[in-house]
Structure 1
């Protein structure tokens, strides 16, 4: 393992930052404390410009290299936590009820800060590194918020790179899936307006629970009877809400869930069939059904050439034997995809010793990943912005 010297010497500092962020998680668009710490650290590290308040809590820093060139490389990390109560029992566990860094964004933020420290001290590159600390990745539209406020108009990038921890039990293993790598996603809410009654006289009702139950079954036929088995698509009902008493047939019911896809046409097909099923069951049962569908994530597509470049930079740190470009696509989603739709780049995963899955209340990020991820990001910037003669 070839951790960059400045980052290696800063390991204790990075772990302290990480533990502090972990103990004080903040949900998307409320990362006020996190953003303040990020901005303070960037200024202390000598970053040339620090801009705050982008999409409420986003932070952008600029570091100019020795060469003074015009090319610009973006490095991005997410900052938000999840609405989960932590059960790890760590000494630095969350002190905020109902919030936890169960996806490791505290680690991502720390790694980019470590890269920033190295790059600001050495400046062994020709051009500008754009450090992007993004809020609200967890389905709340943080990337789209930053883009809507002119992220790349204010801070243009020629290429951009992101990173995620992978609790694989394989520390130092870096992998990329070239091309479509992570699924796009739409979220949906189905609101059923029926007619309530006394539970002893259900014939006087138009029972929304019966309709909801029918919809759960019918929606599963979208994949089995409409989508080709050669296409990847997932439709999941994840919430059912209705009723408040044992002896009342309720007026309303709500279903919520998600569609995951790799092809826009497949997503459109699933959405169309869902609307047709809602309209048909509304007519059949004599109720009103309103479908609220909204796209939340685009398909994340890694540029093949830049993926190779990313792995070459990673190999400088973890060794060529520990990088791979054959990671299969995953049906999870990541809003870095929105940035990659505008600026070419790549997104890698870095393995660590932890094995508890992401988004689990017992998830623990192995702190050993911090200098590894920081070094890979820093090397990526240096490789893509080489000084003359290097």
Structure 2
């Protein structure tokens, strides 16, 4: 029986694209995956779940002569985005969309899994279908629940993320850090509301928020080594109700991003210090919540990544490219702190529509090269 064809991969991807679900609520996706994987049942395959993360799926393939356990991870959740692609297989769930391409990720993982159910691997393999990548750090949740113990513990872990700016089917990665680590900023300043005509009788939380927004612009420009880089962005600010009422509270949401954990921790301290300073200066109450969770920098293992790059460069059937690091966040970074491994980009050829765009439409011509590239590389790993 042959591997999945390009047409079969497209059908799977389109089925999954129709049913995007948010973090930790991927019930229909879970059902679809379990049914499809169950239809491929072979004597050397075991499928299980994680009670603490009920939409997660783990698949174990026993090797013929195992020297190691190779892990492969895919994320399965979607985003709260209203789709505007016009595709005939567009999302059927209002306000939710696979705008980050996790339907592509799942399809490639299923293609790789199908190959090794038809061709029993030499080494043991663990496939992790992970909920809650976009938020709620599903990888960390699974790890903290003890999911990767005993035979489920990978000796090396691999995964991919689609990239609309790269040609369909191209695989790209780099030695060192591929993606940044991230931290959510959630901040509320509480003052005293009052009439706009009597500011001395109120305490303006909006002014405090404005001062904070301006001051955090110095966190990167005056604290981070310029050759390393970082980002502090405040993307959401809500304060007040009407123009002639002084705002008694202001709420801000934002993000911290950097390629090194030491820089992220320094930036967290500076953001906290600025918030506390603004609170003291303007006499407002400060409620700051910084959440990193599992979103650590995606740091590729030097040895495994060098092997992957060397293998893919020498295979003329694989379109491989080197690439610069990106400020994209990915909670696979947490798992790469626990297990050596590598993440790569898979080009999906839609340069006009970036990740998280309501119009992002990956080219399905990327699916078969993604499957083939990883099947070849993982087979090579088993021969080491």
The TM-score bracket by the shorter chain reads over 0.9
C-alpha separation between the residues in 1 aligned to 2:313 and 2:28? 34
Pairing of 1:135-154 with structure 2 (within 5 A) = 135-154=131-150
C-alpha separation between the residues in 2 aligned to 1:111 and 1:182? 20
Pairing of 1:327-338 with structure 2 (within 5 A) = 327-338=323-334
Structure 1 length as normaliser, TM-score? 0.92
Structure 2 length as normaliser, TM-score? 0.93
Match of 2:244 in 1: 247
Pairing of 1:133-212 with structure 2 (within 5 A) = 133-154=129-150, 155-212=152-209
CA RMSD of aligned residues (A): 1.9
Contact 1:194 1:251 in 2 (8 A): yes
Match of 1:40 in 2: 35
| 286, 289, 293: which one aligns with 1:289 | 286
C-alpha separation between the residues in 2 aligned to 1:319 and 1:13? 21
Q: Which runs of 4+ in 1 moved over 6 A?
A: none
Pairing of 1:1-390 with structure 2 (within 5 A) = 6-7=2-3, 9-47=4-42, 48-53=45-50, 55-65=53-63, 67-123=64-120, 125-154=121-150, 155-296=152-293, 297-312=295-310, 314=312, 319=317, 322-324=319-321, 326-355=322-351, 356-386=353-383
Aligned residues: 378
C-alpha separation between the residues in 2 aligned to 1:318 and 1:98? 42
Q: Which runs of 5+ in 2 are unaligned?
A: none
Q: Deviations over 1:77-117 (max 9, x none)?
A: 11000111111010011111111000100111011111111
Contact 1:174 1:311 in 2 (8 A): no
Q: Which runs of 5+ in 1 are unaligned?
A: none
Contact 2:169 2:367 in 1 (8 A): no
Return 348-357 or 112-121, whichever deviates more: 348-357
Cα displacement (A) at 1:318: 6.1
Aligned to 1:331, the other structure's residue is in SS state: strand
Contact 2:166 2:346 in 1 (8 A): no
C-alpha separation between the residues in 2 aligned to 1:106 and 1:340? 22
